[in-house]
Amino acid sequence: MNILVIGANGQIAQHFIKKIAQTQHNAIAMIRKEEQVELLKASGANKVVVADLEKDFSHAFDGIDAVVFAAGSGGHTGADKTVMIDLWGAIKAIDETVKHNINRFVMISAMSTDDPDAGPESMRHYLVAKKLADDHLKSTNLKYTIVRPGLLTNDAPTGKVNLQGKISDYEDRAITREDVAAVLAEVIDKENTFKRTFELLNGDVPISEAVNNFS
């Protein structure tokens, strides 16, 4: 399976590409800048496509079987960039996936996206953008999975997670970026995650077990 990784220069995406390189799948890295090509090849990308989410990037979808949307402006950028990347860029990526008759789409979203008003005021514009993009994805016939991690850290991966449709009981609202990437690699071809949304934190259950038992 050829997997288009949008936002491939991001930390989660790079971890994901390294993990996919150890499988039978191929990672096609989509990046904005030519100077990032060698880094992504070194990470294990089978192919690198230079394309900009804020422009026409339809050519990146040729020969693709699945899409992972890992692009993001971050929770602390201005509302203008958040709208262009996390909302409009995501919507365009979803629509291109439909146009190219690609069935599989995995979205990296965020916890609290289902209720932006309950999130921190400083991140409300980000959560609203994520919610609208998620809702657009849910309105399609794509075999989507929406992954909503908590606070991202660069700590060493634990290989264990708390993966639920809605997490209401937790001690720590964090998840390592590498553990998120491992979950993405695990769900990419798991039918029990099709048309499903779940929240994700570090926890006590091994990743493979948590994904396989998700219902």
Catalytic residue positions, numbered: 126
Token representation of residue 140: 């399609």
Rg of the chain, C-alpha, whole Å: 16
CB 23 within 8 A of CB 189: no
Question: CA–CA separation, 122 vs 52, rounded Å?
Answer: 27
User: How far apart, in whole angstroms, are the C-alpha atoms of residue 64 and residue 201?
Assistant: 30
Cα–Cα distance for residue pair 30/87, rounded to 1 Å = 18
- CA distance linking residue 152 with residue 155, whole number of Å: 9
Distance CA 112, CA 103 (A): 27
Largest CA distance in the chain: 44
Task: Write the CA distances from 90 to 21, 71, 106, 154, 211, integer angstroms.
Answer: 25, 8, 11, 25, 24
Triad 192, 3, 152: Cα angle to 5°: 70
